[in-house]
Amino acid sequence: MSDTQETVNISDIQSERISRAQGGLIEQLAGDAYSSAGFSRLLVIWGITLVLIAVGLGVTLYLIERSKQSLVPTAPPPLPIAANPSDIPPPPQEVNLFLLDTTALTLVPVKIERRLHAELTKRLSQIVTALIQETPPNFRNTIPRGTVLNEAYIDSQQTAYLDFSNHLTDGHIGGTTAELLTITAILKTVFDAFPEEIKQVQILIEGEEVKTLAGHLNLSQPLHLFQ
């Protein structure tokens, strides 16, 4: 008698273990209903609901697609020759970003890959934005965090105007060395990417010319680097 009771008890314990092992999601759905009947019922209800939602989505998408086709029934299929070259994503190109090697204490070129825009000013924007954002391990970015490049222009005298948000000045740590590193990193990155197209760079803050970033360097004029 005691053997039979013990067998029953053990089977109960095992089934309870299995039901507990179903995982958190089912446990949440089932709430306190651990009984197998309640659990099966819930499973069926949710299964049917999910199937209905999937079918509904499928039908909706099919109808939307069909309505699009019906709007331009006479449009000829696009010819490969007629495709706009700018729509084809360009292959990634290598760009040098000048970042601080904290051991050598110098700015060094760090290669990254970017799909660059064909248009010059957009490409300039892309590269300077990458300089602001990228900080690979073992290097320090010399642009204060939170800085945004608002706009970039290039004039007929090959002067690039880079308009930064005020974080470049307000968030700067100060000191002539740090200020020089920030400006030099921008100039080196720009001149490395555009050796022919850009001859000097004028730094602007929120659209205005500024005398300095942190009280030392004179930024009132466009700058280039002594090679």
Site residues, another protein (CB under 8 A): 6, 9-10, 100, 102-103, 105, 140-142, 157, 173-178, 180-181, 183-184, 187, 199-200, 211-212, 215-226
Please report how close the Cβ of residue 4 comes to another protein at its closest, in angstroms: 13
Q: Which of 227, 206, 198 is nearest to 123 (CA)?
A: 198
Who contacts 86 (Cβ-Cβ below 8 Å, separation ≥6)? 118
Over the Cα atoms of the chain, what is R_g?
A: 32
Please report how close the Cβ of residue 220 comes to another protein at its closest, in angstroms: 6
- Comparison of 84 and 103: residue with beta carbon closer to another protein: 103
Rounded Cα distance between 41 and 45, Å, is: 6
Rounded Cα distance between 168 and 143, Å, is: 7
CA distances (Å), origin 95, targets 83, 111, 130, 141, 180 = 28, 6, 9, 16, 22
Please report how close the Cβ of residue 26 comes to another protein at its closest, in angstroms: 27
- Comparison of 152 and 213: residue with beta carbon closer to another protein: 213
Please report how close the Cβ of residue 141 comes to another protein at its closest, in angstroms: 8
- Comparison of 10 and 53: residue with beta carbon closer to another protein: 10
Phi, psi of 52 (to 5 degrees): -65, -45
Please report how close the Cβ of residue 177 comes to another protein at its closest, in angstroms: 5
- Comparison of 42 and 217: residue with beta carbon closer to another protein: 217
Phi, psi of 210 (to 5 degrees): -125, 150
Q: Residue 194 carries which DSSP code? A: -
Please report how close the Cβ of residue 149 comes to another protein at its closest, in angstroms: 19
- Comparison of 86 and 176: residue with beta carbon closer to another protein: 176
- Comparison of 116 and 204: residue with beta carbon closer to another protein: 204
Give the rounded distance of the alpha carbon of 77 from its chain centre: 34
